[in-house]
Structure 1
Amino acid sequence: MNRPISTYKRVQQWAVFGRLWFLFDAKWQNPFDSAEKIAKYLAGKHKPIYHPLSDVGDHVVVINTKDIALPNKEWRYRMYYHHTGFAGGSSWTSAWELHNKDQTKVLWKAVYKACGGSLLRHNMMERLHLFPDDKIPQELMENISDHMKQLRPVPKALHEYTEEEIKNFPKVFEWPEDYVLN
């Protein structure tokens, strides 16, 4: 007895097979932890139809790559190797120098490494869209259907608090009204 599939179920199935577009905000995020999460979506590992030999991944749009946060002293000590292919053409570049040249390159290299050595890596990297700030072209903005949760919360800067929030903030002790700071 074959019953027809409901319209809702049919749409749900097409959503699994279709390529969705996800938005990820990299502000204050560790690029290496973020890269593992982004690579998971690029490969399609979050879908029930995932198979290592199938190219079923989604598009990921990453904004604010200029505001990534490397742990401890990694800006200075993490080095990237590059070779031009000519004799004596090898060079090492620190993370902060690479970030100053191209503000998307550190995260791009982290995602490239997190995608593994599969032959599908090139196709996955084509579905990665990196932007140094939050300005996304309109044609990409129309495609975005969902967002990925950040791995760690972004703290508020002091100038982002209102006067009321500052006034109501719990204090360890109160200064006397007539006390003057020198």
Structure 2
Amino acid sequence: MKTFTPKPADLTHDWYVIDATDVVLGRLATQVATLLRGKNKPSYAPHADSGNHVIVLNADKIALTGNKMGKELYQHSGRPGGLRRDTYAWLLANKPERIIRSAVKGMLPKNRLAAVQIKRLHIFVDGEHPYGAQKPQVFEIAQVSQQAK
């Protein structure tokens, strides 16, 4: 059996929109990472860039399970003294897009292709986005948070 290698003409970048209201962070991040890599397509190849654009709406309404509100998210700028640490409670109130971007980035491979794929992630705090002309498809995540019910 021969290995399938997609040609550049076979690679399409579709647009998906996901509503993050009451969705657990980990479940959201796995679905977004799968769409960004293009693993939902039959023409998927790990070395080819067949990923999609993903729009995440209502980022401030995600559900965090366990005791994550007291834990901290670390980020380093690469400069001396550039370590930044913020609690999830502060981030959820002020910069919820950073929580989602960090979780999705951790689920992507650690290579140059992931840097291209993470740029296709568009996160918005409210329910509006400026990408209506691309006609994004709605992607539903079946399981929502048990605490939200």
TM range (shorter): 0.7 to 0.9
Distance 1:153 1:19, change over 3 A: same
Q: Distance in 1 between matches of 2:53 and 2:68?
A: 29
Distance 1:28 1:56, change over 3 A: same
Corresponding residue for 1:57? 51
CA offsets per residue over residues 68-89 of structure 1, 9 Å max, x none? 1100221112x21223444444
| Backbone CA RMSD of aligned residues | 2.3
Scaled by the length of structure 1, what TM-score is found? 0.68
Equivalent pairs counted in the alignment come to 139
Please say if 1:149 is aligned against 2:140: yes
Scaled by the length of structure 2, what TM-score is found? 0.82
Q: Distance in 2 between matches of 1:108 and 1:86?
A: 21
Following superposition, the deviation at residue 154 of structure 1 comes to 7.2
Q: Distance in 2 between matches of 1:95 and 1:119?
A: 28
Contact kept? 1:60, 1:127, Cα under 8 Å: yes
Distance 1:124 1:70, change over 3 A: same
Distance 1:153 1:103, change over 3 A: closer
Corresponding residue for 1:67? 61
For structure 2, the 5+ residue unaligned runs are 1-9
**Residue pairs, 1:92-107, within 5 angstroms:** 92-107=85-100
Q: Percent identity?
A: 27
Following superposition, the deviation at residue 24 of structure 1 comes to 0.5
Corresponding residue for 1:8? none
Q: Distance in 1 between matches of 2:144 and 2:78?
A: 42
Please say if 1:127 is aligned against 2:120: yes
